[in-house]
Amino acid sequence: MRRIGPIFLSISCLALSASCTKAPEVTKAQDVGEIQAADSGGAGNVGGALPAVPDGPVAIVNGKEITAADFHGIYDLKLQKYADRGREIPKTADRRYRKSIVDRLIYQEILRQEAAKRKLDYDKAALAEREEAQQRGIKDWDKHLRRRGESEESLRQLYVAELLERSLLEADGLLAVTEAEIDEEYEKVKPNYNKDKERVRAAHILVRVGPEERPNPGEPITEPDEAQKKQWEAEALAKANELYAKATAEGADFDQLAIDASEGPSARKGGDLGIFSADRMVDEFSDAAFSLEPGEISKPIKTKFGFHIIKVYGKYPPGDLPREALEDQIVERLSARKLHQGRRDLKEKLMEAYEVKNIMEDLLGPDPRAQRRKQNRERQGHPPGPKPQTQGSGPPSGGPSDAHSPTAPPPSGTAAGAGEATAEAVDAPTKAPAPAGDEPKPPI
């Protein structure tokens, strides 16, 4: 079973427009400058107020203007995040937002122009799937957008840019994984999967007990009474029995049924939970999975996570796992690696190829903080240039640098820079809880 879930990058609606979703009324940049000038004693305001945002274009890409309206469609929402908390945006954060938003809009425009020049388009179905996945499990989507400082349209343009990047890379044959590459990677990783336990590869369809929507973090949870719990459980079991009947019907496609009906993150991969040993899952789930033969499907099994319909795809004795058992995982890993490197190379190539006038960057001038950091490093004997990034380093999620990339931050389990993290809950019935949002990949 080869099913590789789409890996979204950190990318028609080719016209970026702030008019699709009206930004809330917030303090405009000109007013922010006046506030900061009156409060120049704060650490964030050293060096005086930032210049006003121009009324004209903030950048020009091959003669195509990126307007102040395009910029304000995102920037005003970032200001609103601070206003909602009764705060004024610090000058340092304001500078980073202005620069990173314009950089983001510039690269999105470059991608649109390059795709149009090469007569390429993005996958509309993948866009719809991405947007649906983002909202899954979030009770108040508008509140979520406000907290992130984005609009429906600004997020859509992030996803469109992701998909245009992928289209360009695929057209150049840079994402294809060869059999020789799979063989080489298998020989490298094979020793890591030599275990003294029996293992299975299984997928499942999860039916949760209780309301589908969960409250946003920080919201109080009301404990239901016993009658309500029994009603929810009966409803969930009835739904699980219906899905079991569909899954076992002649000609049924378990993968597609899981995609359509399973209530967990693994749904997008056809319910695939990978390969695991019995001690990695709760007892009820393991007992059912290990009692099945490849191709068999269980009746609904109840665990603390809900009801599961389980399908086993393979059973493996202790020792090395065969190549076919690891092939999907290897392909996914190699694809993510190629995607990550391809994005870097593509951006570097396109930024050199296109004529860009960054009016905002010229207006802001050099960043005093960056200059001071450079001077300090030089005084300490370090070579000039950016500080090397270690794995896991970078700005906190939700900070100004979120706006820098033309694509959203990565979801768990994908290559760095791949796409915005979803708000899905873990559905794997593992004994040890995984971090929220992570796709379950139990050790083998």
Tell me: do 172 and 31 sit in the same domain.
yes
Q: Output the 3-class SS for 284-312.
A: HHHHHHHHCCCCCECCCEEECCEEEEEEE
Among the ranges 59-73, 129-143, 406-420, which has the highest mean pLDDT value?
59-73
Q: Which pLDDT value is given to residue 383?
A: 63
Say if CB 14 and CB 116 are below 8 A apart.
yes
Tell me: do 173 and 207 sit in the same domain.
no
Tell me whether residue 288 is in a domain: yes
Query: Cβ of 444: how many Cβ atoms within 10 Å?
Result: 20
What percent of the chain shows pLDDT beyond 90?
A: 57
What percent of the chain shows pLDDT beyond 70?
A: 73
Tell me whether residue 376 is in a domain: yes
Mean pLDDT of 233-238: 94
- Asked which of 277, 293, 319 is the last residue of a domain, the reply is 319
pLDDT digits (tens, 9 = 90+) for 162-171: 999 999 999 9
> Which CATH number characterizes residue 289's domain?
3.10.50.40
Tell me whether residue 43 is in a domain: yes
- Asked which of 282, 301, 319 is the last residue of a domain, the reply is 319
Q: Does residue 49 carry a pLDDT above 60?
A: yes
Q: Does residue 319 carry a pLDDT above 60?
A: yes
Tell me: do 183 and 233 sit in the same domain.
no
> Alpha-carbon distance 431 to 347, whole Å?
42
The pLDDT-based confidence of 106 (bands split at 50, 70, 90) is: very high
The pLDDT-based confidence of 368 (bands split at 50, 70, 90) is: confident
Q: Which pLDDT value is given to residue 35?
A: 30
Residue 315 DSSP class: E
Domain total in the chain? 2
433 Cβ neighbours under 8 A, 6+ residues apart: 426
Higher pLDDT, residue 272 or 366: 272
Phi, psi angles (nearest 5°) of residue 80: -65, -30
From 40-49, 257-266, 315-324, 380-389, the region with the lowest mean pLDDT: 40-49
Say if CB 341 and CB 7 are below 8 A apart.
no
Please give the torsion angle defined by the CA atoms of residues 149, 151, 153 and 157, in that order, rounded to the nearest 10 degrees: 20
Mean pLDDT of 76-94: 91
The pLDDT-based confidence of 425 (bands split at 50, 70, 90) is: very low
Tell me: do 106 and 175 sit in the same domain.
yes
Please give the torsion angle defined by the CA atoms of residues 175, 260, 266 and 314, in that order, rounded to the nearest 10 degrees: -90
Taking Cα atoms as reference points, which of 262, 286, 320 lies closest to residue 200?
286
Higher pLDDT, residue 259 or 371: 259
Q: Does residue 391 carry a pLDDT above 60?
A: no
Q: Does residue 399 carry a pLDDT above 70?
A: no
> Alpha-carbon distance 257 to 66, whole Å?
44
Tell me whether residue 420 is in a domain: no
Q: What is the mean pLDDT of the chain?
A: 79
Tell me whether residue 123 is in a domain: yes
Query: Cβ of 301: how many Cβ atoms within 10 Å?
Result: 19
pLDDT digits (tens, 9 = 90+) for 244-261: 999 999 999 999 999 999
Say if CB 159 and CB 111 are below 8 A apart.
no
Query: Cβ of 173: how many Cβ atoms within 10 Å?
Result: 7
Mean pLDDT of 142-156: 93
H/E segment holding residue 5: none
H/E segment holding residue 63: none
Kindly list the distances between the CA atom of residue 314 and the CA atoms of 1, 3, 206, in Å, as whole numbers in the listed order.
Answer: 10, 15, 20
The pLDDT-based confidence of 381 (bands split at 50, 70, 90) is: confident
Taking Cα atoms as reference points, which of 112, 93, 95, 84 lies closest to residue 12?
112
Query: Cβ of 371: how many Cβ atoms within 10 Å?
Result: 10
For residue 329, give its domain range. Answer: 1-194+320-409
Residue 204 DSSP class: E
Tell me: do 280 and 156 sit in the same domain.
no
Q: Which pLDDT value is given to residue 377?
A: 81
Q: Does residue 119 carry a pLDDT above 90?
A: yes
Tell me: do 80 and 145 sit in the same domain.
yes
Tell me: do 310 and 346 sit in the same domain.
no
Q: Does residue 290 carry a pLDDT above 50?
A: yes
Q: Which pLDDT value is given to residue 367?
A: 78
Say if CB 278 and CB 292 are below 8 A apart.
no
Tell me: do 150 and 258 sit in the same domain.
no
Tell me whether residue 159 is in a domain: yes
Is residue 355 classed exposed, middle or buried when 0-12, 13-18 and 19+ CB atoms within 10 A define those classes? exposed
Tell me: do 35 and 90 sit in the same domain.
yes
Q: Does residue 410 carry a pLDDT above 70?
A: no
Q: Does residue 17 carry a pLDDT above 80?
A: no
Q: Which pLDDT value is given to residue 223?
A: 78
> Which CATH number characterizes residue 104's domain?
1.10.4030.10
Q: Which amino acid is at 147?
A: R
Kindly list the distances between the CA atom of residue 350 and the CA atoms of 4, 15, 87, 277, 406, in Å, as whole numbers in the listed order.
Answer: 28, 19, 38, 46, 13
Strand-pairing partners, residue 412, are none
Tell me whether residue 435 is in a domain: no
Tell me: do 292 and 333 sit in the same domain.
no
Tell me whether residue 419 is in a domain: no
Tell me: do 36 and 105 sit in the same domain.
yes
Mean pLDDT of 345-367: 94
Tell me: do 189 and 73 sit in the same domain.
yes
Helices of type H across 118-140: 124-135
Q: Does residue 216 carry a pLDDT above 80?
A: no
- Asked which of 319, 340, 359 is the last residue of a domain, the reply is 319
The pLDDT-based confidence of 226 (bands split at 50, 70, 90) is: confident
72 Cβ neighbours under 8 A, 6+ residues apart: 18, 23, 28, 53
Query: Cβ of 88: how many Cβ atoms within 10 Å?
Result: 17
